[in-house]
Chains A and B, each alone.
Chain A
């Protein structure tokens, strides 16, 4: 009986000791952490340089500090992969060599809750849409490959004619010509 109590006591001491002494091993050292962000268009492809790219800002949610910001540039990605072929879990859809992205190299000393904010397409200010998402970044745990995907809903509608430089004649017909594109 005494042996049983000694064993039980030892067990509790061991468990408590473990909880006290085994802490998460994040020190004051800043650890390089890469994060790749990809801004895409709903029912279309990656928002590329052709429409002016996308603005991306990564902010520390706790302190408000902007950790990185910049522009997503590059191509729209592989049309077949994104729009045509069936997808299997884990397959590369956006992360092809010509696919636009924004990558930040951050220095983190602890798990950090961030907000990733984006707006696009920068080439068409009247068509800009915005979105954001939050996530926890862990020092040294890179997010690459497909990256963090942020999807924007919207269409680019661009009146090409008539031009605002010309006056319209009262009672006269005018040809209205418009370009409509995915973001």
Chain B
């Protein structure tokens, strides 16, 4: 998956959200191609407040494929 490649990275929409529990706690965060095949990145600031926060990243292509991954993190003062 690379820009302009067989699987064109430009044709994938990849974005994330921070969540508290099941509630979205941030705007949509778009991830960009990171310069290596299949890698995408963005610099973001976790939502204000301490405790457990989740990061959910979703991806979708134009062929009907989609996927997601969600991890929990601890935010400390």
Contacts and interface: CB of A to CB of B under 8 A. Distances in A.
Interface stretch (A66-74, A136-144, A157-165): A157-165
Contacts of B58: 157
A85 interface: no
Using C-beta atoms within 8 Å of the partner chain, give the interface range for chain B: 35 or more
Nearest to A158: B69
A106 interface: no
B4 interface: no
Interface in B5-26: 6-7, 12, 14, 16
A84 interface: yes
A134 interface: no
A170 B16 CA distance: 18
Contact of B41 (A84, A157, A178, A182): A178
Contacts of A179: 38-40
Contact of B72 (A126, A164, A172): A164
A159 B55 contact: yes
A181 interface: yes
B67 A157 contact: yes
A155 B45 contact: no
